[in-house]
Structure 1
Amino acid sequence: MQISVTEAKGQLTELVRRAEAGDEVILTRHGHPAVRLVPVKPVVDAKSRKALLDAVRASAAAKATAGPSAARSQDFLYGDDGLPG
């Protein structure tokens, strides 16, 4: 759809809605195309966000090292009888 800038002033809300819905909206000046209204794409779409999170998780998993169990980490403080040694 092409519409003059002068006409668009009174219809801006509707033109924005149409552009967001995927319609091509071109504003003309003196009969020549001047501006195209297009919707703004999200900075990070859901698919890219998921891929980024998966990459971070994989990186963290690769860096994790097995160590002693935290449940037994202070056993050295106690003797075989269970008393502080």
Structure 2
Amino acid sequence: MNQDILFADLQTWDSERKAVCFPAQQAGALIRCWVSLAWLENQAGSPLADEAAILTAFAEYRFDLEEMAESLIEEEAFNATGEIEVG
């Protein structure tokens, strides 16, 4: 694990984007990382009906998501708005 990339224990559900945002920090820069509801539902194996269920699923897969986001940050695989999209 790269200690230059830190993840806060924060996550927010964005109902318009249908994704969970979880921030990372690298060299003082804040990087917004996203995971889609579709990815979380695929991992959970069932639909996630509300925000509480979505955030619970996110917590279950947090470690894996942070590792994937870290790899994408290291590869500089940012989207057009400078964010990381995992799954």
TM-score w.r.t. length of structure 1: 0.25
Relative contact order, higher structure (CA 8 A, sep 6+): 2
Larger radius of gyration: 1
Which has more helix, going by share of residues?
A: 1
TM-score w.r.t. length of structure 2: 0.24
